[in-house]
Chains A and B, each alone.
Chain A
Amino acid sequence: MTKFFTSSIGQKFFMSITGLFLMVFLMVHLTINSLLLFGDGTLFNVAANFMSSNPLMKVVEPILALGFILHIIYAAYITLKNMKARPQGYKVASKTKASWASKNMFILGALIFIFLAIHLANFFWKIKFGTVETTHVEGQELHNVYALVAGLFKGWWWYNVLYMLGAIFLFLHLTHGFWSAFQTIGWNNEKWIRRFKTIGYIYAIIIAGGFAFIPLYFLLKFVV
């Protein structure tokens, strides 16, 4: 059991488990975000404030952060180790049929990481440590997160593009990551490989499409 944590399969197991956990988080995140599209923002503000003030979040937030950190650290470590397994490469680049995303998961991950840093600075940091204007809903004082989101996408059009780009990287990452996670924990066979790949594509389209639609929606609403 102790060897498990240092073995190649064990390390991949943690990539898979943290990946699956982050995929559940993405679903929750998108569900809340989709409220941005309805009404005058009150709905989203209530939901966002519920999420941030919920006592359960005090527990979930560090776990989520840990999920991200472990996923990133393991990815960097495994990638570095894998590069060492072939000190001298081929002259003719591989012509083997394999999906582009599967061969570039680390690059996609790094791009998503850059996006994540910008994204956290845009919202999480401001809400947590900065000053966000408040609004009143049924007598309760709430952070006007809707105004923060709308303000960002209203301000510079390239933020809209950046967020759509982030969604594209996420899409590619998920097309491989989804089925790959099940393969790594051993929950796969020749029938389910195809099924997981299809479900993975549908999942990636819903998640990335949903996240890309929000900046597009604000772009159409304010800029055009």
Chain B
Amino acid sequence: MKIKLNIWKQANAKAKGKFERYELDGVDAEMSFLEMLDSLNEKLIKEGKEPVAFEHDCHEAICGCCSLYINGHPHGPGKETATCQVHMRSFKDGDTITVEPWRAKSFPVLKDLMVDRKAFDKLMAAGGFISIDAGQAPDANSVLVGKIDADKAFDAAACIGCGACVAACKNSSAMLFVAAKVSQLALLPQGKVEAKRRALNMVAKMDELGFGSCTNTGACEAECPKGIGIDFIAKLNREYLSASFSEAE
């Protein structure tokens, strides 16, 4: 398979980037998208050119590192897949593939296709944790969690923090990410204790970091590699509203 690539190249955070065209021959349909980029980079290195910088780590869609905006889709084609799960069989011989970094004010480009997602770490530090002393793991029967809540919390916990929700949203909103974290913890006994403060602090941090607001387009849900639904955003709104009315600031 022969592939034409149109890739965003940017030397550093301050540099003005531009799209660079590449052609790659001998692409195997069974290659993963990341392997294809590796082979492109090998070719570029052999030619004495600078390789394309992109982020990846676990290659099994749990680390949330890979973050490419491929042909108008965060994480490329396919439902509920991260970039590392995209294979070249999703493309045809002779296709032109445009690869861009996540675009958001809160995710500045570091180099080429790599963006700085520290904003998500800051969001987590603002409240995405449990600070009470929960002690050692208690006996399974002593802390009861209903099946429905347990399943819901697990669904929310599937979030890998890749930032595809921000990349997909026309407002670069981080609401789905914050909603997943707030919901996951608010549904469980240990997290419930600080649920109100968490919702207030994480939303305040989200606004401070320059993410946009949610206009309910549902784009985040459609592109989330973990299938996290916007019903969690409704829950976040609920949590935030009740916290705002009841918690003293």
Contact = CB atoms under 8 A, between A and B. Distances in A.
B241 A9 contact: yes
A93 B215 CA distance: 18
Contacts of B172: 82, 85-86
A186 B234 contact: yes
A87 B237 contact: no
B235 interface: yes
Given A9-B213, A183-B233, A186-B238, A88 B103 contact: yes
A183 B216 CA distance: 8
Given A184-B216, A185-B237, 9 more contacts: A2-B249, A9-B237, A82-B173, A87-B105, A99-B218, A102-B218, A183-B230, A189-B231, A193-B231
Interface of B: 6, 8, 19, 69, 71-74, 98, 100, 103-106, 168, 170-173, 200, 203-204, 206-207, 210-219, 222-223, 229-231, 233-241, 244-245, 249
Contact of A82 (B170, B222, B241): B170
Contacts of A3: 200, 204, 244, 249
Given A8-B203, A183-B216, A190 B231 contact: yes
Interface in A110-158: none
11 contacts: A4-B244, A4-B245, A8-B173, A8-B214, A10-B244, A85-B104, A85-B173, A90-B103, A94-B168, A98-B218, A186-B239
Nearest to A179: B216
Interface of A: 1-4, 7-13, 78, 81-82, 84-99, 102-103, 105, 176, 179-180, 183-190, 193
Contacts of A93: 72
Contacts of B173: 8, 82, 85
Nearest to A5: B244
Contacts of B235: 186, 189
A1 B200 CA distance: 10
B214 A96 contact: no
A96 B105 contact: no
Contacts of A4: 244-245
Specify the main secondary structure of chain B where it touches its partner.
mixed
B206 A8 contact: yes
B207 A82 contact: no
A111 B207 CA distance: 29
B213 A78 contact: yes
B164 to A, nearest CB: 10
A105 B215 contact: yes
Contacts, number: 150
Given A7-B204, A7-B207, A185-B241, A96 B168 contact: yes
Contacts of A92: 69, 71-72, 98, 100
A1 B244 contact: yes
Nearest to B229: A190
B190 to A, nearest CB: 23
Given A82-B170, A88-B103, A102 B217 contact: yes
A85 B241 contact: no
A1 B236 CA distance: 16
Contacts of A82: 170-173, 212-213, 215
A200 to B, nearest CB: 11
Given A92-B71, A98-B218, A85 B244 contact: no
A4 B242 CA distance: 11
A25 B72 CA distance: 40
A91 B17 CA distance: 12
Contacts of A7: 203-204, 207, 240, 244
Contact of B212 (A10, A85, A188, A193): A85
